[in-house]
A = this chain, B = another copy of it.
Amino acid sequence: MNKMPLIGLGLATIGASGKTLDVFFPLIAFAGGDLESSNLYNSWNQLMDDNILEIQDVEALNIEDKTTLSALQSLNSNIKLILCRIQEDITIQSIEEAYLKLHLISYKFFQPNTLNLDNLFNTLPNVAWTNNGPIELESINHSILESKRAHRSLEIKSIDKFPRLTDYIVPPGVRIADTSRVRLGAYLSEGTTVMHEGFVNFNAGTLGAAMIEGRISAGVIVGKNSDLGGGSSTMGTLSGGNKVKISVGENSLLGANAGLGIPLGNNCIVEAGLYLTGGSKVEVFDRDMVSQGVVKADQLSNQDNLLFIRNSLSGAVEARINLKSVELNDALHKNQ
């Protein structure tokens, strides 16, 4: 199914100066979706000359679900109702489209790395995320003074271009111990637990149940039944110079405080504390622990059943055959 074109129905927060600070899309209609979805798409599409349209009258939207409909009425004065259409997957043109694409990933309509996110950083404004919603940075220091004087609460939780996922979407069947560590645009599959030390960037996530106690950088995906140990690191492509998209296969374990600079296969283990970069030279052993010579780690990309360790006597990084299988603790993953 080709998932574009599509139209999102959004609630945009408008800042004091009139600019849009964020957009929440509770509903998305697909031209190629089921009957209800495609009917909605067609109905909305007829209203639109441009790809973004402000809606003045909720009734024009033809929404049948009474609960949703009533939730869209009597909006607060700083909230605008909009439609945002994406006809094809090109460079991002607007903040509305940027937010819509982040929603598309977090709703799991599109997997990480399958949408064109060029221009994302330029279209997203830097915003103060507070207990009173997003506010503009321009007069923030005066707002702090005002709140102190009056002993009203102004809590600035984040100053960032990206908000947290759970201010918009709570994916089913997940646990997120500290929601400040998962950005909108994260892709979290059912059965995933993100512990306090875990982190998931936008355009990144898990393809099945997984235990995430380490950091999933932008662009990184983790397969089902895998475990990122506490404080473990996956190399991203946004900074630090790495060009290769990192991933973790299924049934694999990145140990605590370990790091990963190659795409890791299935049923692999990287030992706790070992940072395996693409350029690390690794001595490879067969099942009988006979050396097969030395290769760069990136030559072992996506190979299954490997155990990477640093020999604690010789200090050399080794790839051995992984004889254990990684098992997630079932009780930890029943996220009801």
- A residues with CB within 8 A of B: 11, 24, 26, 67-68, 71-72, 74-76, 78-79, 121-122, 125-126, 128, 131-133, 137, 140-142, 144-146, 148-151, 153, 155-162, 166-170, 174-181, 196-197, 199, 211, 215, 217, 227, 229-231, 233, 235, 238-241, 253, 255-259, 261, 271-275, 277, 280-283, 294, 310-317, 324, 326-329, 331-332, 334-336
A158-B176, A159-B170, A312-B282 are contacts. A256–B240 as well, Cβ < 8 Å? yes
Contact A199 B199 (CB under 8 A): no
Bound-complex Cα distance A169 to B143 (A)? 10
Return chain B residues, CB-CB under 8 Å to A157.
155, 178-180
A149-B72, A153-B133, A331-B121 are contacts. A313–B240 as well, Cβ < 8 Å? no
Closest-CB distance, A106 to chain B (whole angstroms) = 12
A256 touches which of B159, B176, B235, B316 (Cβ 8 Å) = B235
Q: Provide 19 A-B residue pairs closer than 8 Å at the C-beta atoms, listed in order of the A residue.
A: A11-B145, A24-B145, A72-B149, A74-B149, A74-B150, A79-B149, A121-B334, A131-B155, A156-B167, A160-B177, A162-B177, A197-B199, A239-B329, A240-B256, A241-B324, A271-B275, A272-B275, A273-B274, A283-B313
Bound-complex Cα distance A72 to B294 (A)? 70
Contact A122 B240 (CB under 8 A): no
Contact A197 B170 (CB under 8 A): no
Smallest CB gap from A71: residue in B? B145
Bound-complex Cα distance A112 to B122 (A)? 32
Return chain B residues, CB-CB under 8 Å to A24.
144-145, 148
A72-B149, A78-B151, A167-B144 are contacts. A177–B197 as well, Cβ < 8 Å? no
Contact A126 B335 (CB under 8 A): yes
Contact B255 A227 (CB under 8 A): no
A145-B71, A315-B314 are contacts. A125–B259 as well, Cβ < 8 Å? no
Closest-CB distance, A264 to chain B (whole angstroms) = 15
A126-B175, A239-B332 are contacts. A11–B141 as well, Cβ < 8 Å? no
Bound-complex Cα distance A273 to B151 (A)? 44
Bound-complex Cα distance A285 to B217 (A)? 33
Contact A215 B231 (CB under 8 A): yes
Bound-complex Cα distance A240 to B151 (A)? 39
Contact B151 A133 (CB under 8 A): yes
Bound-complex Cα distance A334 to B310 (A)? 39
Closest-CB distance, A192 to chain B (whole angstroms) = 11
Smallest CB gap from A310: residue in B? B315
Most buried by B among A71, A162, A239: A239
